[in-house]
Amino acid sequence: MSLSQVVNVSISAVYTSVPSVKMDNLSDVHIESQQGEKILANTGIRYRHIAINETAADLCCDAAQKLISENNIEKDNIEFLVFVSQTPDYILPASATVLQNRLGLKSTVAAFDVNMGCSGYVYGLSIISSLLSNSLNKDAKALLLVGDTISKLCSSNDSATYPLFGDAGSATLLVKSNVGEKMTFDLNTDGSGSEAIKVEEGGFKSNNVNAEKRLYLNGMDVFSFGITKVPKAIIAFMLSQEAKVEDFDYFILHQANRFMNEKIRKKIKATEEQVPYCLFDYANTSCASIPLTLTTEIKSINTPTQLFLCGFGVGLSWASAIIQLSAGCKVNNSIYNG
């Protein structure tokens, strides 16, 4: 376990944005009808919002613009911008630098990318909250942008990936707080399993720079990892913090597939009501799945809400966080229209 804690920082808003194109696995011409029914039964996935021309940065920018506008955020107080994605706009420059300009943020903002997938939201939250907590500006705010367009890496001929992935972007606003609020993190990595989820081409290790980039997924290896290491890590983390399952309003898990996540839920002894899903309508949206579940399934935060977040997958990597959302935290999901 790699434990860390940040104090006097809180989340004030979470916005998400999904593409307007919505695919149905039960009527998609690339998926046989019986296969679509089987996928729905095994994974809980029917629909996928698919990016055609838009990128992860576009979706995150859309979510951020709406968050800033609807909450009257003073842009000059945003001091940190972190963009988490494995589908950036470019190899270089970092998408965060482009987003700083698109959002009209001041040039003194610290902006950088983090290349993480399924655990990326929790990793990003740990990084940006630490930066914000140490800011000398008492009015400082931070913007965490997390999103992926993994569907662009999935071949319609690959039944192991094509029906499972959708696209989404998110924006999370963090602010300084003086009420003793804290976020606690547990971050983990096992690179010996890195071959289980991989895009071989496109990086500089490949000898064929012109090869088409395609996602490879070893479903059995990922499933085994998910139902063994993840519940053990969740339980160990709770024990380290002297927390119990009933202390949490919700366990927001990475939306990998419902069958695997239900195995995890039962092993940690959480109730069905504590573990919401957005898989049916949005599929696996990689690093955006935790904020997307929050904005689509929780929808409004009227009372202080205790959350246990857990992202797990590509890397292999898994990360958990214990956080509390204050009453009035704004959550919103919308359709990106360009």
What pLDDT is attached to residue 19? 98
Residue 33 clears pLDDT 90, i.e. is over it: no
pTM (two decimals): 0.96
The tens digit of pLDDT for each residue in 35-66 reads: 999 999 999 999 999 999 999 999 999 999 99
Domains of the chain by start residue, with CATH: 1-338 (3.40.47.10)
User: Residue range 210-231: average pLDDT?
Assistant: 92
User: Residue range 95-107: average pLDDT?
Assistant: 98
User: Residue range 209-231: average pLDDT?
Assistant: 91
Residue 241 corresponds to which tokens in the numbers above? Answer: 């913090």
- φ, ψ of residue 220 to 5 degrees: the values are -70, -40
Of the candidate ranges 6-15, 194-203, 308-317, the one whose mean pLDDT is the lowest: 194-203
Contact 268, 234 (CB under 8 A): yes
Residue 87 corresponds to which tokens in the numbers above? Answer: 């589908």
> Residue 300: which pLDDT band, with cuts at 50, 70 and 90?
confident
Residue 209 clears pLDDT 70, i.e. is over it: no
The tens digit of pLDDT for each residue in 161-185 reads: 999 999 999 999 999 987 778 999 9
**CA–CA dist 254, 321 (Å, integer):** 12
